[in-house]
Amino acid sequence: MSGGGTGGAGPTGGSGGRAAEVDCAAVCERVRTLCEGQSTIDDNWVDVCTRACEIRVEVAPETAVLERDCVNAATTCTVAVLCVSSPGGTGGSGGS
């Protein structure tokens, strides 16, 4: 969807900087990779995930950064899905 680079939608307010570094497509593709073989994590799920992440970049940039960091630290599908469904609420422990 996006050509190279690390951006996605740029923030319009708040604390721009780090949130502009959130590549929402990459975040959601990492979840897909961790959830390989699970039919519920399909193209539609990734599209919805990406759109929700892009909205967070716009309206809650700090939360988008937490989401990205949590997904990057996740080692299981369950944790990765929790990271995107409740950004900032999982602690990014990466376990279980």
Q: What is the dihedral of CA 18, 67, 57, 52, to 10 degrees?
A: 160
**The model scores a pTM over 0.75:** no
Q: CA 62, 64, 69: angle at the middle one, nearest 5?
A: 95
Give helix 77-85 / helix 61-73 axis angle, nearest 10°: 180
pLDDT digits (tens, 9 = 90+) for 10-22: 334 444 456 668 9
**What is the average pLDDT across 29-45?**
96
Is residue 96 a contact partner of residue 78, using CB atoms and an 8 Å limit? yes
In which band, very low, low, confident or very high, does the pLDDT at 8 lie, cut at 50, 70 and 90?
A: very low
Q: Residue 69 belongs to what H/E stretch?
A: helix 61-73
Tokens of residue 34, six digits:
């961790």
Domain boundaries, the chain: 16-85
